[in-house]
Amino acid sequence: MKSFILSFVLVLSVNAMAEPEPLDDLMTPDEIAAEAGFPRTEMNTDVLSLRDFDSIESLNVTREFPIVLVANKNAYGYEAQTMRVIQNGSHTHTWKISTGREQWETSKSGRQYFTTTPPGWFYPYSIVRNHYSQTWQTNMEFSVFFNGGIALHAANSAHNYQLGRRASGGCVRLHRDNAKYIYERIVQEGKGLVPVIRPNGSVARDWRGNVIRAVKYRTLIVVEGY
């Protein structure tokens, strides 16, 4: 029995060692964006929460978007390091996530950066089943890029234990099963005519006060917290 347990532990250790480091620990978000030809990461300060949005902007986003994902980047407190999934107006899931570590670090490329997940309101602009970095020869599964080089993506299995606390280089990590589910739902809903919401949570309107709409993914990603 002891030999069986020892063998099992060794197999787990070898698998963990064989798994490559997460890409968002090897490169900064701007480096990921530059390599892929994506826009730079936007940094926002004053951002409306989803709870305040309806009363201030008089627009019910859970009716406008079939999928609304609310990631709470706080380190402590109610809903900290979780993602709420709202589908067709109903809260269907709450999952543990890992957002940025919120500290100055040096990436493996030698560049200093602040490992933050900026708050804001975003649309997916690129979804990639298996995003691959030629620079570091590693990947991010079920990547949903929404702010420069920052994406929702599957956590490596060796890092699942970190879900529920700050642990990433800036991306929003989810358990692989949850990342796969979100990826497939976003693909399923596709694009459509949706309200234009700025990164700070304000709605774009014309001179008459009418909501401006544009063709984008019918998924809204809100990052809340400090």
Task: Single out the catalytic residue among 91, 93, 159, 171.
Answer: 171
Nearest to 215 by CA among 86, 87, 120, 123: 123
Element (H, E) at 126: strand 126-133
Quote the CA–CA distance of 154 and 180 in Å, as a whole number: 7
Cβ neighbors of 156 (< 8 A, separation 6 or more) are: 19, 20, 21, 22
**Token pair recorded at residue 170:** 């800036």
Per-residue CA distances from 213 to 43, 195, 196, 203, 205 (Å) = 23, 4, 5, 10, 9
| 175 is a catalytic site residue | no
Q: Mark whether 153 is an active-site residue.
A: yes
Q: How far apart are CA 187 and CA 190, in angstroms?
A: 5
Q: Which of 91, 153, 159, 175 is catalytic?
A: 153
Give the span between the Cα atoms of 162 and 22, in whole angstroms.
13
Residue located via tokens 């080089």: 149
Active-site residue set: 153, 171
